[in-house]
Amino acid sequence: IPVDPFDLVVFGGTGDLAQRKILPALFRRFCTGHIPDSARIIGAARSDMTLDAYRAFCAKAIKTYGGTRSCEDGTVQEFLSRLDYVPLDAMGETGWPELVHKLEGCAAGRVTVFYFSVGPRLFGPLAERLRHHGMAGPDTRIVVEKPFGHDLESAQALNATLARHFAEGQIYRIDHYLGKETVQNLMAVRFGNMLFEPLWNSQYVDHIQITVAETVGVDGREEYYDRAGAMRDMIQNHLMQLLCLIAMEPPAKFDPDAVRDEKLKVIRALDAVLPHHIVRGQFEACLDPDHPHPSYRGSVGEPRSTTESYIALRTHLSNWRWAGTPFYLRTGKRLKARSSVINVMFKDAPHSIFGEEAGRHANLLSIRLQPNEGITLKVTIKEPGPGGMRLVDVPLDMTFAEALGPDGGDPPDAYERLITDVIRGNQTLFMRGDEVEAAWAWTDPIIAGWEARGDAPKPYPSGSAGPTDADLLMRRDGREWRGIN
Ligand code: NAD
């Protein structure tokens, strides 16, 4: 179903995110017929570019990052004809009258979206200028990229600035993890089946692991990353959102406030993390002559940096459903594999009627976000053959690319889904202001704790599974990491 006619202004339309994600996502939606003829996409950025140069820039972005749903040249040209460009300064007056002029004369009720794909210091000034130039009407929506604040205080200040100009219902704080097909499937699996929900609690679940492992370093984002580190860059937002969806109570409806109310309750029920339940790491240089790269400190050019490129932690939820079930989160850069996965580890059967020699295997539900999106349930069966009753694990596997067949095998990118939701006015997969603040309220004392103690991150070899202390964190509890280890 095509969305209603809209104008989308991409502030930062010449930036890295615009070229890698936003423009290719819009193009793919266009290819599937979801973008109506009268829709307009206006890039706005500091570069003094002509419209032709901007269209050439977008054509290249589509070619490079458009993915497997390639389209014929004619379609690309048709898409490019919807594009416009305004050179504009978010901190000054340059370009604003031209943008106002371009948006004038649109029918009332037409949706106008302003996507803030610029550095976070510009979020507040952009909101102020939109109001000042009369573009903050009731049909306006703003999309705010991450990072949303650096700590609780700055997030509160940003929320307050945005709230002066826009109602909460107009603000779409993006966390692209929520747009991933598997993440939405997590909700479908939990709340669309009778099978799992009765077991989804501390009585049957031994523990839950959430891993987001990356093979890349901090290239191109050195300055930002060295101020943020893995805690602020990944745990406070992406892993926290995954934790919320795994742990929340069933919302009464799949609507924005019902879902976000439940997520907020999860964050507020999180216990403080004890110092010995957290491991911080920093990657070392890779000396392999085929893939050499500097250490974390060398990458960011700060020989004494104590910023972490890796975190593993154990936390708990103080609520009726989850009391006693540990949640282990880990994320890091320059690890041995790129893998984002949630593992729900069920408890052992209380008694083995086959005897201990038959072996015991606990059930495991693995939800893979990337690569190879899908869900696998490990169940125990008899080892085939005449050798007696021995038990083995077999996977019941649903890899989405296979399950959905040739047409559905290329799931939409998270940004496709999320941008469409903004235009449709659906905030379910976006973070509410109070959720973001609650996540910072949990994160801040952890960071303050290691700053006060002067904790330094542990070095770990590039291409490894992270610091060995992260394995100890698990082993002390008689458990082990699944996925990469
Ligand atoms: P970038 O530096 O590549 O691009 C910044 C854009 O902002 C450029 O188009 C630039 O012209 C524009 N800009 C800068 N100052 C301006 C001003 N005064 N007035 C108008 N325009 C101005 O940054 P990016 O990587 O595209 O990131 C954009 C935002 O998205 C940031 O908040 C970033 O944290 C977030 N983000 C980026 C990624 C990514 O993969 N690049 C991922 C997640 C979030």
Q: What is the pLDDT of residues 317-347, one digit of tens each?
A: 999 999 999 999 999 999 999 999 999 999 9
Q: What is the pLDDT of residue 1?
A: 66
Q: Are strands 364-370 and 374-382 parallel, antiparallel or unpaired?
A: antiparallel
pLDDT for 223-259, tens place per residue?
999 999 999 999 999 999 999 999 999 999 999 999 9
SS3 264: helix
Considering only residues 334 and 104, tell me which one the structure prediction assigns the higher pLDDT.
334
pLDDT value of position 283: 97
Binding-site residues from annotation? 46, 146, 176, 180, 214, 233, 333
Sheet holding 374-382, edge to edge: 391-399, 374-382, 364-370, 339-346, 205-213, 327-332, 310-315, 278-283, 458-460
Architecture of domain 178-413+431-475: 2-Layer Sandwich (3.30)
17 touches ligand 1 (CB under 6 Å): yes
Q: Are 127 and 162 in contact (CB under 8 A)?
A: yes
Compute the distance from residue 116 Cα to the ligand 1 centre, in Å.
Answer: 8
Tokens linked to 430: 């976006």
The confidence band for 460, taking pLDDT boundaries of 50, 70 and 90, is very high
Give the H/E segment covering residue 367.
Answer: strand 364-370
Judged against a pLDDT cut of 90, whether residue 220 lies above it is answered with no
Which pLDDT band holds residue 158 (cuts at 50, 70, 90)? very high
Pocket flag, ligand 1, residue 90 (CB < 6 Å): yes
Centre of ligand 1 to C-alpha 17, Å, is 7
Is the pLDDT assigned to residue 106 strictly greater than 80?
Answer: no
- For residues 148 and 436, the answer to whether their CB atoms sit within 8 Å is yes
Q: What is the pLDDT of residue 388?
A: 84
Is the CB–ligand 1 distance for residue 146 below 6 Å?
yes
Beta carbon of 120 within 6 Å of any ligand 1 atom: yes
CA distance from start to end of the chain: 44
C-alpha distances (whole Å) from 275 to each of 68, 257, 313 are 45, 34, 9
Q: Is the CB of 92 under 6 A from ligand 1?
A: no
Confidence of residue 68 (pLDDT cuts 50, 70, 90): low
Nearest to 176 by CA among 404, 433, 422: 422
Of 19, 114, 117, best ligand 1 pocket probe by most atoms within 8 Å of the beta carbon: 117
Q: Quick one: average pLDDT of 38-56?
A: 95
**Cα–ligand 1 centroid distance for 119 (angstroms):** 5
Report DSSP letters for 419-437, one per residue: HHHHHHT--TTSB-HHHHH
Average pLDDT over every residue of 351-378 = 88
Q: Looking at residues 178-196, what average pLDDT do you find?
A: 91
- The verdict on whether 238 is a catalytic residue reads yes
Is residue 84 scored above 80 in pLDDT? yes
Instruction: Specify the pTM.
Output: 0.94
Q: Where are the domains of the chain?
A: 6-145, 178-413+431-475
pLDDT at 314 over 60: yes
Residue 474: which of 330, 349, 377 has the closest Cα? Answer: 330
Q: What is the mean pLDDT of the chain?
A: 92
Which residues fall in the annotated binding site for substrate? 176, 180, 214, 233, 333
Say if residue 105's pLDDT is above 80. Answer: no
Q: Is the pLDDT of residue 401 over 90?
A: no
Q: Which residues pair with 230 in a beta bridge?
A: none
- Domain range 6-145, CATH class: alpha beta
| C-alpha to C-alpha distance for 304 and 26, rounded to whole angstroms | 42
From the list 238, 277, 291, 293, the catalytic residue is 238
Longest CA span, the chain: 81
Give residue 19 CA to ligand 1 midpoint distance, Å: 10
Task: Find out whether the beta carbon of 119 lies less than 6 Å from any atom of ligand 1.
Answer: yes
pLDDT recorded at residue 37: 84
Q: Is 325 helix (H, G, I), strand (E, B) or coil?
A: coil
Binding residues for NADP(+), by number, are: 46, 146
